[in-house]
Structure 1
Amino acid sequence: MCAEACHFYEATRDPKYTPIWKIEPLKQTYKREYGPFAPLYRLLGLKKKVTEAQLAQWQELIYDSCTLCGRCSLICPMGIDITRLIADAREGMAQAGLAPAELQQAARRARVSGTPSGEPVSAFVQFLKSIADRHGIEVPVDKSKAAVLCTVSSSEVKHYPDAVAALARVMNHLGVDWTFSSRGYEATNAGIVAGDLASQKASNGRLIEAAVACGATEVILPECGHAYAALRWMGANLHGSSLPFRVLHVSEFLAEQVTEGRLKLRPLEDTVTFHDPCQVSRRGGATEAPRVVLQALGVNLREMNPTKGTNWCCGGGGGVVSIQRADPLRQRAFEIKIEQVNATGAQYPVVSCATCRRTFDDGAARHHWDKKARNLLELVAQQLQ
């Protein structure tokens, strides 16, 4: 059943992309070294030791053909969290130096400099200044005290700077006491997709320190799926104690503002469909928040089939969008999303994850598709009342 749940298998019908097969070396190692019959397996040679050459061959299955989207885990009749097991396998691969070079390097840069791009803090501060100047808005940085700490993703900084401007515009419009912090601003967690636990902890640690330093009671994460997973669901465990603040994806924050009557929007008479980011919706449970915001926008929402927690992944998450050799496979998987969106008759898809947006933009260009993805936050900023 898990095979039909995987977009890479569905797109290729190649049995090697069956999710449970991707963790075969992990299963083999467990049975040989730790399982109840491990001594017998070793004595009789029934389970061979996993070799480095075997792991190198498995790199494509553990990284290139898995976005950690969780659809296989959702459908597994035995309740096996295959996604978590693949993440565990990635941690082992990273320890062995066998993660893809693009992900290893990004995780290393994040551990050292605080961002996967490796840019210094001064570059981020200058980026915010340019946003403020270009859009004529206030963008607070390093306030000594603030109720809300906002964060960004490196994808937004590099590819979608207008999304950062949209965040500032919305926060200012709402009169929120907020700030960015040069101590911790990058929410993208390169460690989580590479399997580099040290990098994952370091990235989370910077955000936690920044929030505590300014006394924030809320940390708003950007439109980035794995950023949400890393801090919202793994942050406390990695930190070793409960976090002294709320962690919200920006769509959750916007939905709360709509529900409480503080955020009012001018109607947008477009027909749209919504692509659920896997880490936020399926893995994170924040499925209704973006729909609350879309309802406030007054759009004609046409849901994909399937939708919400069972929606198909775009194919770019889990670091796959950054792995160059994975591009042909990723493009084949994206054809599923094209069919889904086209079937709704929507004018365009709305996304709430920068990685999804990059995948949609790249896929549209490669497939000569006439649908341009729009992101939820920018639509909100555009329609402020």
Structure 2
Amino acid sequence: MTEVITKQEREEAFAMFYGMAASIGELAEPAPEMTDEERVERAKEVFLKGIDNNVAVQLDACVHCGACAQACQFFLGTEDPKYTPIHKLDLLKKVYKRELSPMSWLNKFLTPDITADDLRDQVELVYDSCTMCGRCNMVCPSAINIGDMVALNRSAMAAAGLAPAELRYMRDGQEADGTIFGADEDLFNFRIQDIEQKLGFEIPIDKKGADVLLMTSGLDIHLFADATGGAIETLHHMGVDFTLASKTPGYEGANFGSLSGYDATKKKLTKDSTAAIEELGVKTVIVPECGHSYPALRFGAAEAVGRDVKFEVMTVSEYFGRAVMDGRLKLEKKDHPTPIALHDPCKVGRWGGVFDEPRAILKACGYDLHETESNKQYNFCCGGGAGNFLLPSADKLKRVGYRIKMGEIEATGAEELVVSCGSCRMNFEVGKVKAGDSMPVESLAAIIAAHLPQKDKAEGDRA
């Protein structure tokens, strides 16, 4: 693999980025001014619009068994009952009981209406103490999709002007120009030109009719160029007809409308990306190693545009893992004397079902993979998903979540951790700094490129 960013460069970039991320809340525009009555009215409007028959059935289905508590790392780490996942739906359930349930005519008298203070108390529960990882969904005997309904709660908080300043800042910036963390078109093109120079071949840009479009994210552009460079090098090695787009929304895979609860922004960003993708006419889109970009485009594109879309969406691990499994991508098996662990990003794994593919890649590379006790569908979150890694208010809970996850990793005896999500990687790196840990955290895309057969790679470069 050609080194597109050195360890020292990455560490320096991480230190600068970490300092920048810690202060973004101070840069946010003030939240819209509202009276308490307006906050309640706007939140209830979102709740009532979101409660369809399916949600109503689920809200009525809870048997108060507490199983979801044992699935949540924030509850397990604090043993505080307020972090029981189902409690994050209490306001939603109260609105349902009073306004829409079969006994609403009676419940209006028996159940007090929600207040602005209730909404303020809810902010910590649905932002700081929930990454919408969906682990609680897996163990609920009533099949309640708590993760999706927490997303509905975030939408209500955003409508009430109560979204955290950090996520509001990220959403505002992306709403304005389609970029995140200042990764504008000039910076993107500079980074791609740098990768191109180091790889030694021309990277196709804005090529209409290519088979594959590779997207990236602001996080990778700033910090994890090894992930983007690894994916580019592997596509080139395979002889894939691929392209990158030089302008947002064609290159930016992130969607902070999705994370923050601003549904209109989420839909706009997804529609804009879909239009840019279909204009290029590609058949497959590889989204970056970024957990939430995957569901936002894979599951959200058709919904956003109101029709079937003309492309397939895959994540890096999914695309290259399938290529390994069907023999289109041969990797060089090397001697790796120390065991490794693998972190399955929640949105890619638990929500997208991508488990076999990254394991096929690691096996082909010769790694000794030691699975964590909780793995695949029951894998613990990194602790900072759904934008939580940006929230200073969630620091204590993030460290609790990180410690539970890292504890399972350390118990495997692994000496290296492999991830396929930039947000997860960022949270593990921050967690290491806070906890004084030192385990290397590596990108799966970079690992793939490091195991390309050298003879074949040289022939591919000459071609």
TM-score by length of 1: 0.96
| SS of residue paired to 1:225 | coil
> Is there any run of 5+ residues in structure 2 with no aligned partner, and where?
1-66, 454-463
Letter in 2 for 1:167: A
In angstroms, what is the RMSD of aligned CA positions?
1.4
1:41 paired with 2:41, answer no
Deviates more, 1:366-375 or 1:134-143: 134-143
Aligned to 1:210: 276
Aligned to 2:314: 248
Deviation at 1:189, TM superposition (A): 1.3
Aligned to 2:358: 290
1:67 paired with 2:131, answer yes
Distance 1:230 1:340 in 2: 29
Q: Superposed, which structure 2 residues align to 1:233-312 within 5 Å?
A: 233-270=299-336, 271-312=339-380
Aligned to 2:70: 4
Aligned to 1:99: 163
Distance 2:451 2:184 in 1: 34
Larger Rg computed on CA atoms: 2
What is the number of equivalent residue pairs in this alignment? Answer: 383
Deviation at 1:259, TM superposition (A): 2.1
Distance 1:211 1:281 in 2: 24
Aligned to 1:29: 95
Distance 1:251 1:119 in 2: 24
**Contact preservation (8 Å) 1:152, 1:222:** yes
Aligned to 2:412: 344
Q: What whole-Å deviation, never above 9, does each CA across 1:53-93 have from its counterpart, x for those lacking one?
A: 21112100010000010001111011100111101111111
Deviates more, 1:116-125 or 1:174-183: 116-125
Distance 1:358 1:92 in 2: 28
Deviation at 1:262, TM superposition (A): 2.2
Deviation at 1:336, TM superposition (A): 0.8
Aligned to 1:79: 143
Alignment equivalent of 2:263, drawn from 174, 183, 197? 197
Distance 2:88 2:149 in 1: 9
Q: What whole-Å deviation, never above 9, does each CA across 1:184-241 have from its counterpart, x for those lacking one?
A: 1111111111111111112212221122111100011111111111111222122211
Distance 1:60 1:134 in 2: 45
Aligned to 2:236: 172
Aligned to 2:457: none
Aligned to 1:187: 253
Aligned to 2:173: 109
Deviates more, 1:62-71 or 1:21-30: 21-30
Deviates more, 1:28-37 or 1:11-20: 28-37
Letter in 2 for 1:300: D
Deviates more, 1:70-79 or 1:179-188: 179-188
Deviation at 1:253, TM superposition (A): 0.6
Deviation at 1:276, TM superposition (A): 0.9
| SS of residue paired to 1:248 | strand
Letter in 1 for 2:157: M
**Contact preservation (8 Å) 2:325, 2:357:** no
**Contact preservation (8 Å) 2:342, 2:418:** yes
Aligned to 1:220: 286
